[in-house]
Structure 1
Amino acid sequence: MDDPPLTMADLISLKSLDIRVLAGSNGLGREVLWAHSCELSDPERWLGPHELLMTVGLGLPETPEEQRAFIANLDETGLCGVVLGDHAPLPVLHPQLYEEANKRSFPVLLTGSSTPFAAIGRTVAAAAASAQTIQVLQLSKLYQLSAYAHTDPNRMLSDLETLFSVRLRVFDVLTGLVMLEGASSVPMPDSARERSYVLPGGSGVSLSIIEHAEEEISSFLLIHLLQVVDVALSRILPSIRSRAERSAQTFAAVLEGRPPADIEQILGLGGDSNGYQVVAVSAEDGDRVARAASIKNLPVLCASGHSSSLILMSVGMQVEVRQFLTELDIQGGASSSYVDLRDIKVAADEALKVFLSAGPHQLWKEFEGVSVSLLARSHKEASAVVELVLGDLAKTDPRNSKLRETLFSYLTNDRRATETAVSLGIHRQTLVYRMTKISEITGRDIGSSADLAAFWLAFQAWTSYKSIAD
């Protein structure tokens, strides 16, 4: 941050210059970067913004309206003001000149007859040189700190905050998430202003600068600051993109039944985790979700589809994922929990149904009620149900297999004995005998509503996941 720049008010405060204000006193806060003497009739062609015109009046028009236009042209070109020399060539100044200057708050100054323009020029040049020296020193320090761009970008940002007495924050434009943030304790008043600049690398990342009002980082230093921050991001961004790509590829492999060997480590499954869930979001939000999860380096997998986008996570990540979707203002629907990744498609379908059933203003909705495949949502649970309900009847020896087939046929035929016997090709009395043996082996009575429901669930688990019987 530079020292306060020289202003028109500073010039007139220097008694040695003997300058007084003729008009436009409301513009004395204008910054003066340079002072130039010009006696041409069109000085606006040769001077630029924040430059001070010094003239003895040789180029100043004589008529009232021409003098009005003269002041207007200088102001519209961006000049900070005009200093008139109190010498013979100076024409009569008409009221129209004063009116235009006051209307535009464009300072019109008059020097004493003994004040050389060179003294004004040297004063402005000295002030500019001082500011430039400070900028060069700051620039040198800026590039010293850039050494941390790759090794510790957050430290670099904190040191830059101290250097410029500002606060810095790098954020992703797509998600709005902060990617880097300084940790300095630079105090900022309520009047501080915030500016944001897209980094030059075309990465969709912006730098936010919070600085004291009227003490902004100069354009000269800002260009270099953006370049240095962009360099720091050049190592971070490829990692973010790589994580997002690996996440999509791994999720695709899981959906195809080819989960990698380290999938439990990737998702943080096992240990205290009691399963996984799938969260569905809109297809339009898929890119934002995947990038945000990668920026936060969450232990989840994200994949985009035509009808929706999905997040695969451990149950233990639910609170964090819900919070991060809320930060993004993205609606999500979560499945119930599952314990076997072979059930991923079932979980994904369930999550999509939950998502589609959510209200327009409901950012998060979880699965409620009873799953259609109760106690048989997964291979592991199905196996447990079958063993719990059927006992030895779940064995694959000929005797138990025949009895199990009889039970399942009886349930399929809605407990109609004649139809069951016909479908099995046995006598009705043989069916009665087999049903008695089934009750003895399992300890359950087919006539009991509770036992009948248990048999039916075991039958559903067996037929849905035949591989558990192999």
Structure 2
Amino acid sequence: MAAQSKTLRVDDIVSTTSLDVRVLAGGSGLARDVLWAHSCEMKNPDQWLGPHELLMTVGLCVPAAPADQVAFLRRLDEAGLAGLMIGDHEETAPPISDEMLREANLRGFPVLLAGAQTPYAVVARHVAAANTSSQTLQVLKLSKLYHLAANANEDAEGLVHDLVALLGIGIRVEDPITGLPILAADLSRAHVDLINRDYPLRGAHAATLIISEHPGEELDSFLLVHVMKVLEVTIEHILNAADRRAEIAARVMLSLLNGAQPPEFDELLAPHSVSTGFQIAAFAVADGDRVARAVALRELPIVVGAGRTSNLALIPIDLVPEIRKLIEGSNVRFGASSVFTDLHDVRIAAEEAAKVLAAAQHSDRAWTEFEGTTISVLARSNREAAEIITGVLGPLAETASGANRLRETLFAYLRNDRRWNDTANELGIHRQTLSYRLNRIEAETGSTVTKSSDLSAFWIAYQAWEAMRG
């Protein structure tokens, strides 16, 4: 059965929290019917408005002198107007005199004060809507809703703001993988406690819709169903685009690790240039989807993809603070490499970041920086890494079995921080055999295993060897 029309009254406007309207005087007339609300700044608005119409003004039509204000109000009442609404704008409205307020109280003629941020167009639409049958109003809003959706032109942010303005609700859609908002727009005048309601969106991508409403002004379930459908389609487009971006980034990362720079790299990283400098951040494989989705949703110029032992993110150094802020409270742990500028060092930086992550696995810090010799000192490219290996290790860099045995002995000695017993145990040899091999290493390389400078060179060569092998 169709709902019956109900004429709006002045007290209905005052009690609508979102309109931010309060009574200055004439409270005994709040039961007056309001058939229309009209903005007018003409000198004699009573000539332009008729019975049961609400005059809305910023104060330009209100006289300044108290006696003239009383006469002004008397004419409005005698013309049968429902009331007077004055905007809270000191620059346009004259001070309202006590004489005018007393006259309003005597006549029971409502004088209302609208908040400075209350649009009169919203008040007018509210009056018009309230004086239409509820079913007709639903159809009109539904028509407008789909009109907005059809004309959004892929502007999802603009669409959600238009929906908030049309429906008088706050909208927030969250991604369940990252917990990040995909779309969000708040009510412009949320000066009271709002009621939040959650609804699952069940499109191609799961998401959670959170609606904020003024108490007593909840969105009708008929409209809610259609809002959810419109948002499901919109969210599907956004998340499909984010997934495509994440897939491209994964391919780019794989290419970089293999020493190539694919054409998509510049598109993903724009406007950053190689000379800016980068860091590689390693994180757990289990967190791969979450980090990749977060970066893609924000369209950050960061390349995320799988590495050999962990997932990796190639980050321009000026975006490091932003990515660190993004992961706050996410329980994702990152190990970050030193800064580099040559993209040929991506693989070396990835190994470095993975080692930092492994070393910090028991730390409660979300972000751990590399501390030590930077990649620019270790090797700025594979070519320099090879030069370091040959220059420091000499014959030990060769592939002959004897060279392999001495090189692995040296590396085990370095890994075990020069502890003889640990090194011998790792290699499964006697201490005397270890002593013999260390003497051979010194003879072959011309360096000693006791001097700090020689040990530093050995360590750098060891790191370069590991990076080249990775």
Alignment counterpart, residue 149 of structure 2, candidates 143, 146, 149? 146
Residues 252, 264 of structure 2: 8 Å contact kept = no
Q: Deviations over 1:307-335 (max 9, x none)?
A: 53221222232112111122534221111
1:451–1:346 distance in 2 versus 1, CA, 3 Å: closer
Runs of 4+ in 1 over 6 A off after TM superposition: 383-386, 413-418, 449-466
Cα shift at 1:262: 5.5
Task: Check the 8 A contact 1:148/1:155 in 2, yes or no.
Answer: no
Amino acid at match of 1:335: S
8 Å CA contact retained: 1:287, 1:304: no
CA 1:253–1:181 in structure 2 vs 1: closer, same or farther (change >3 Å)? same
For residues 362 and 461 of structure 1, what CA distance do their matches in structure 2 show? 25
Does residue 165 (structure 1) correspond to residue 168 (structure 2)? The answer is yes
Q: 1:132 aligns with which of 135, 159, 163?
A: 135
Distance 2:441 2:193 in 1: 87
The residue type paired with residue 269 of structure 2 is L
Instruction: Determine if the alignment matches structure 1 residue 317 to structure 2 residue 319.
Output: yes
Give the Cα separation in 1 of the matches to 2:383 and 2:170.
54
**Mapped partners of 1:309, 1:463: distance in 2:** 22
SS of the counterpart of 1:199? strand
Counterpart AA for 1:195: R
Residue 220 of structure 1: how far off its partner (Å): 0.6
Q: In structure 2, how many angstroms separate the alpha carbons of the residues matched to 1:160 and 1:286?
A: 34
Q: 1:211 to 1:376 in 2, by over 3 A?
A: same
Residues 169-188 of structure 1: CA distance to partner in whole angstroms, max 9, x if unpaired?
Answer: 22212111122223x65312
Which structure has the greater CA radius of gyration?
1
Unaligned runs of 5+ in 1: 7-126, 391-412, 424-434, 436-445
How far does residue 271 in structure 1 lie from its aligned partner after superposition? 6.1
- CA shift, 1:302, in A, is 1.3
State the AA in 2 paired with 1:198.
P
Displacement, 1:198?
2.0
Give me the whole-angstrom Cα distance separating, in 2, the residues matched to 1:465 and 1:360. Answer: 25
> Alpha-carbon deviation of 1:452?
6.7
Deviation at 1:357, TM superposition (A): 2.6
Structure 1 residue 205 and structure 2 residue 190: aligned?
no
Using a 3 Å threshold, how does the CA distance of structure 1 residues 159 and 383 change in structure 2: closer, same or farther? same
Compute the TM-score of the two structures, normalised by the length of structure 2: 0.53
SS at match of 2:378: coil
Match of 2:244? 242
- Which one of the candidate residues 340, 343, 366 is aligned to 2:342? 340
Identify unmatched segments of 5+ residues in structure 2.
7-129, 393-436
Partner Cα distance (1:306, 1:261) in 2: 23
Give the counterpart of 1:270 among 273, 276, 282: 273
- Give CA deviations for 1:352-406 in whole Å, capped at 9, x if unaligned: 22223324521111111236x77223328938997xx99xxxxxxxxxxxxxxxx
The DSSP-based 3-state class of the residue aligned with 1:175 is: coil
Give the match for residue 260 of structure 2: 258
Whole-angstrom distance in 1 between the partners of 2:467 and 2:309: 27
Aligned to 2:70: none
Q: Does the CA contact (< 8 Å) of 1:267 and 1:300 recur in 2?
A: yes
CA distance in 2, matches of 1:264, 1:205: 31
Match of 1:382 in 2: 384
Contact 1:172 1:205 in 2 (8 A): yes
Distance across 2 between alignment mates of 1:141 and 1:192: 25
2:176 counterpart letter in structure 1: V
Between the aligned partners of 1:292 and 1:220, the Cα distance in structure 2 is 33
Conserved 8 A contact 2:283-2:310: yes
Q: Is the Cα–Cα contact under 8 Å of residues 385 and 461 in structure 1 kept in the other structure?
A: no
CA contact (8 A) 1:164 1:217 kept: yes
- Report whether the alignment pairs 1:222 with 2:224: yes
CA distance in 1, matches of 2:323, 2:463: 31
Shift of 1:154: 1.4
Q: CA deviation at 1:457?
A: 8.7
Shift of 1:138: 1.6
| Counterpart residue number, 2:31 | none
Provide the residue aligned with 1:176 in structure 2: 179
Q: 1:298 aligns with which of 297, 300, 305?
A: 300
> What amino acid maps onto 1:369 in structure 2?
G
Cα distance in 2 for residues equivalent to 1:285 and 1:418: 45
The answer to whether residue 158 in structure 2 is matched with residue 155 in structure 1 is yes
Secondary structure of the 2:133 match is helix
CA RMSD of aligned residues (A): 4.4
Relative to structure 1, the CA distance from residue 416 to residue 245 in structure 2 (aligned partners, 3 Å threshold; closer, same or farther) is closer
Q: Write the distance in 2 (CA, Å) between the matches of 1:305 and 1:281.
A: 10
- Cross-structure match for 2:83: none
Could you tell me the TM-score, scaled by structure 1's length? 0.53
Cα shift readout 1:134-186 (whole Å, capped 9, x = no counterpart): 2222212212211234432211211111111111122212111122223x653
Whether the 8 Å contact between 2:385 and 2:465 is mirrored in structure 1 is no
Measured against aligned partners, the alpha-carbon deviations of 1:3-56 in whole angstroms (never above 9, x if no partner) come to: 9x99xxxxxxxxxxxxxxxxxxxxxxxxxxxxxxxxxxxxxxxxxxxxxxxxxx
Corresponding residue for residue 26 of structure 1: none
Aligned residue number for residue 357 of structure 1: 359
The Cα shift of 1:461 comes to 9.7
Letter aligned with residue 160 of structure 1: L
> 2:233 & 2:385 partners in 1: Cα distance?
55
Cα-to-partner distance string for 1:109-148 (whole Å, 9 max, x where unaligned)? xxxxxxxxxxxxxxxxxx9993222222221221221123
* Identity of matched residues, %: 32
Superposed CA deviations along residues 276-309 of structure 1, whole A, max 9, x for unmatched, are 2211122221111111111011111112468532
- Residue 147 of structure 2 aligns with an amino acid whose one-letter code is Q
For residues 331 and 217 of structure 1, the distance between their equivalents in structure 2, rounded to whole angstroms, comes to: 41
Q: Is the 8 A contact 1:375 1:385 kept in 2?
A: no
Quote how far apart the aligned CAs of 1:251 are: 1.0
Q: Please list the CA deviations of residues 405-425 of structure 1 after superposition, one character each: whole Å capped at 9, or x if unmatched.
A: xxxxxxxx99999956xx9xx
Q: C-alpha separation between the residues in 1 aligned to 2:384 and 2:455?
A: 15
Tell me the distance in 2 between the aligned counterparts of 1:135 and 1:261: 51
Q: Which residue of 1 aligns with 2:332?
A: 330
Within 2, Cα distance between the matches of 1:305 and 1:417? 34
Helix, strand or coil: the match of 2:301? coil
In structure 1, how many angstroms separate the alpha carbons of the residues matched to 2:294 and 2:343? 24
- 1:288 aligns with 290
Aligned partners of 1:237 and 1:131: how far apart in 2?
A: 36
Whether the 8 Å contact between 1:167 and 1:210 is mirrored in structure 2 is: yes
